[in-house]
Structure 1
Amino acid sequence: MLGTGSAFAKTYFNTNALIYADHNTLLLDCGITAPLSLHQLGKPLSEIDAVLISHIHADHIGGMEELAFRMKFVHGRRPVLYIPEPLAQPLWDSSLKGGLLQDECPSLDDYFDVRLIRPGAKTELLPGLAVEPIQTAHIPNKNSYSFLFNATFFYSADLIFNPELLRNLVEERGCETIFHDCQLKPPGIVHTTLDELLSLPLPVQERIWLMHYDDTKPQYEGKTGVMRFVEQHRRYRF
């Protein structure tokens, strides 16, 4: 995990991740702190094969401008950008265009090999790694997606509590592991709170790892039931 913190955490980097599959590397979201976290891990940007974006907030796309410039002008590459189709135009028009637009680079395609993925459909991202984007609620009238990888690993990104979805993933679809955003103190408003996750059936809680938490996380150690915290700069195998 490149980071496990909330948008405003200072102790933890933004909740972004690297996924390794068959000697390839996918960057899952690229927030403001992603370039620094990669630097601290000694992971060169040039080793990233593809990027996957969940939604358009700075803690998830704030590092994309640096990634684009360095890939194009330092490494001479257009990395693959996987993005749910409804997010592609807003990513450029509402976020990246202001910094990246140049006479010779008038579009997102000048910086990335853009590959649109369809919500609800499985897409192979890398050899051995497939994803199903699931549209989920985060901000009213703003598209946001969670991801189900290889039908067994669910990554919430940012998600308002949806117990029906979580129960369906575990009870009907056989999901084995859930990395879920967790606002430690209520009210959640645009995130899921710890209290809400603690209300889930035990078989669902047993699969949940908590991420996207704030700087008070040490105060909640031992208070999360059977659920565990995802730790920054730690590698997990599933």
Structure 2
Amino acid sequence: MKLIFLGSGSAFTVGADNFQSNMIIETQTGKKLLLDCGSDIRFSLHALSLSYLDITDIYISHLHSDHVGGLEYIGFSSKFDPRCEKPIIYCSKDIASLLWNNTLSGGMMSIEGDLANLDTYFQLYKIELNGYFTWEGIEFKLVKVNHVHNSYYLMPSYGLFFEITGQKVFITTDTKLSLETNGEYYQQADLIFHDCETSIFHTPVHPSYDDLITLPSEIKQKMWLYGYQPGKLPNAEKDGFLGFVKRGQIFDFSEALISVKS
């Protein structure tokens, strides 16, 4: 089992050297689960000699365009290619209720001779509150994260916690640093993939490198950083982290000892 970073950049990363932080989990048989499907997806897949033909299962963490903006490409391409079956989308029930009406319908509702809906393009698997989904024998628990609060309510957004070959993995997707609510996952995980802002202009919806550097060493030493802005990066290894993930980097979980390939 492998975790492959199609990109490791922020939502607004530009340039051919990196893409948005979408990932693929791939089994030894070649089955693939896409973790988020941002607007860069057709380019980031192509850079690794992949395409929509390789995408049959998709997890969606939340509704920002760097996580869902590529679903139109996957949906249209799969529907009108007779080689494809409908891809499966896994997402939390509260996100599922918004995905079509708030995000996809404007561009995908009208097709020649008919009005389409989400079922036209995808099979939808809705995950209950505090629930999980199972894919290829792996149980993926949804972790509610604190990404954006608009003063009325918390935008639905979910990280993933799962176990592969005895290794417990926490992928934050997008979150503020919220140890008071999700500290148990930081403690339980053997490996953490955490979004990290490196811009000098910090936003309030992601942790900055300066935030993360204050974490206890026992957490930092199992943490890889992604979702960063272009430019010179701090020396993460010197500061106690495992490092910054690079585009195309592969984490191989086929054995108990994880191997990393660039």
Using the size of structure 2 for normalisation, the TM-score is 0.84
Deviations 1:150-182 (A, max 9, x none): 2811111110111235642243xx311111000
Whether the 8 Å contact between 2:56 and 2:88 is mirrored in structure 1 is yes
Q: RMSD of the alignment, in Å? A: 1.8
Moved more, 54-63 or 22-31: 22-31
After TM superposition, give the deviation of residue 210 of structure 1 in Å: 0.3
How many residue pairs get matched? Answer: 234
Whether the 8 Å contact between 2:96 and 2:126 is mirrored in structure 1 is yes
2 CA distance for matches of 1:76 and 1:197? Answer: 42
Counterpart in the other structure of 1:14: 20
1 CA distance for matches of 2:236 and 2:225? Answer: 13
Secondary structure of 2:251's match?
Answer: coil
Distance 1:206 1:186, change over 3 A: farther
Counterpart in the other structure of 2:118: 108
Whether the 8 Å contact between 2:33 and 2:57 is mirrored in structure 1 is yes
Give matches, 1:1-238, under 5 Å. Answer: 1-11=5-15, 12-23=18-29, 24-74=31-81, 75-102=83-110, 104-124=114-134, 126-140=135-149, 141=153, 142-150=155-163, 152-165=168-181, 167-171=183-187, 174-184=188-198, 185=200, 187-216=202-231, 218-222=232-236, 225-227=239-241, 228-238=243-253
Task: Say which structure is richer in strand.
Answer: 2
2 CA distance for matches of 1:116 and 1:166? Answer: 22
2 CA distance for matches of 1:100 and 1:186? Answer: 35
After TM superposition, give the deviation of residue 143 of structure 1 in Å: 0.8
Whether the 8 Å contact between 1:167 and 1:204 is mirrored in structure 2 is no
Secondary structure of 1:161's match?
Answer: coil
Moved more, 91-100 or 179-188: 179-188
After TM superposition, give the deviation of residue 118 of structure 1 in Å: 2.1
2 CA distance for matches of 1:7 and 1:224? Answer: 26
Whether the 8 Å contact between 2:144 and 2:159 is mirrored in structure 1 is yes
Secondary structure of 1:236's match?
Answer: strand
After TM superposition, give the deviation of residue 76 of structure 1 in Å: 3.8
2 CA distance for matches of 1:222 and 1:177? Answer: 15
Moved more, 52-61 or 73-82: 73-82
Name structure 2 gaps, 5 residues minimum. 254-262
After TM superposition, give the deviation of residue 49 of structure 1 in Å: 2.3
After TM superposition, give the deviation of residue 109 of structure 1 in Å: 1.2
Amino acid at match of 2:55: I
After TM superposition, give the deviation of residue 22 of structure 1 in Å: 4.6
Using the size of structure 1 for normalisation, the TM-score is 0.92
Secondary structure of 2:33's match?
Answer: strand
Moved more, 162-171 or 35-44: 162-171
After TM superposition, give the deviation of residue 223 of structure 1 in Å: 7.1
